[in-house]
């Protein structure tokens, strides 16, 4: 695999659900993604979005487009919408929860009342995700941090973590 990056073009990404997800995995990766810098892909088994999609069910997955969000679960319960994701494991639960909170906040801004639901079928578990005042404060802090990071001209330094070994940027960060 190459240790060079290329830019397919496009403006700096604004904070979105995907960046929230990646920020909680690796701040440097969030910066690289926000700046549209992608690793040159010689190894097809490693791809962008790997963490995100590795946690979902690729075959059974039927994503539902809801506004600009793609979710696995969308249903009406009384006067509320329930949106959510189906995950293989709870390994990235914190990231998935924060991403869902981001979507719920987006919907709330559009006047839609929603709750979140993470489903872990293999663990026979469902987790309800609610945008409580405390969760919203935490999310706001995360969003502010992401904005600060991506506005910087240089990415945060690489810090080895358990995701580095299989990260698409691994050669760029560590070669």
Candidate segments 11-19, 67-75, 93-101, 163-171, binder of ligand SF4 by CB under 6 A:
163-171
Does position 173 interact with ligand SF4 (CB under 6 A)? The reply is: yes
CB of 30 to ligand SF4, least distance (A): 9
43 binding ligand SF4? (CB under 6 A): no
Q: Which of 19, 26, 34, 114 touches ligand SF4 (CB under 6 A)?
A: 26
Which of these segments, 23-31, 67-75, 88-96, 144-152, binds ligand SF4 (CB under 6 A)?
23-31
Q: Which of 46, 73, 112, 164 binds ligand SF4 (CB under 6 A)?
A: 164
**Cβ closest to ligand SF4, residue 33 vs residue 131:** 33
SS3 string, the chain, reads CCCCEECCCCCCCCCCHHHHHHHCCCHHHHHHHHCCCEECCCCCCCCCCHHHHHCCCCCCCCCEEECCEEECEEEEECCEEEEEEECCCHHHHHHHHHHHHHHHHHHHHCCCCEEEEEEEHHHCEEEEECCCHHHHHHHHHHHHHHHHHHHCCCCCCCCCCCCHHHCCCHHHHHC
């Amino acid at each position: 695999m190459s240790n060079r990056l290329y830019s397919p073009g496009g403006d700096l990404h604004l904070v979105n659900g995907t960046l929230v997800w990646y920020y909680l995995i690796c701040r440097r990766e969030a910066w690289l993604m926000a700046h549209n810098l992608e690793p040159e892909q010689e190894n097809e088994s490693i791809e962008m979005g790997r963490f995100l999609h590795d946690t979902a069910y690729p075959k059974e997955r039927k994503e539902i487009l809801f506004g600009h969000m793609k979710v696995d679960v969308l249903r009406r319960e009384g006067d509320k919408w329930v949106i959510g994701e189906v995950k293989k494991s709870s390994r990235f639960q914190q990231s998935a929860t924060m991403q869902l909170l981001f979507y719920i906040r987006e919907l709330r801004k559009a006047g839609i009342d929603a709750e979140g639901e993470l489903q872990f079928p293999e663990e026979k578990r469902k987790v309800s995700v609610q945008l409580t005042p405390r969760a919203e404060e935490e999310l706001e802090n995360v969003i502010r941090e992401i904005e600060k990071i991506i506005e910087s001209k240089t990415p945060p330094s690489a810090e080895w973590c358990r995701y580095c070994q299989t990260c698409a940027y691994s050669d760029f960060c560590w070669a």
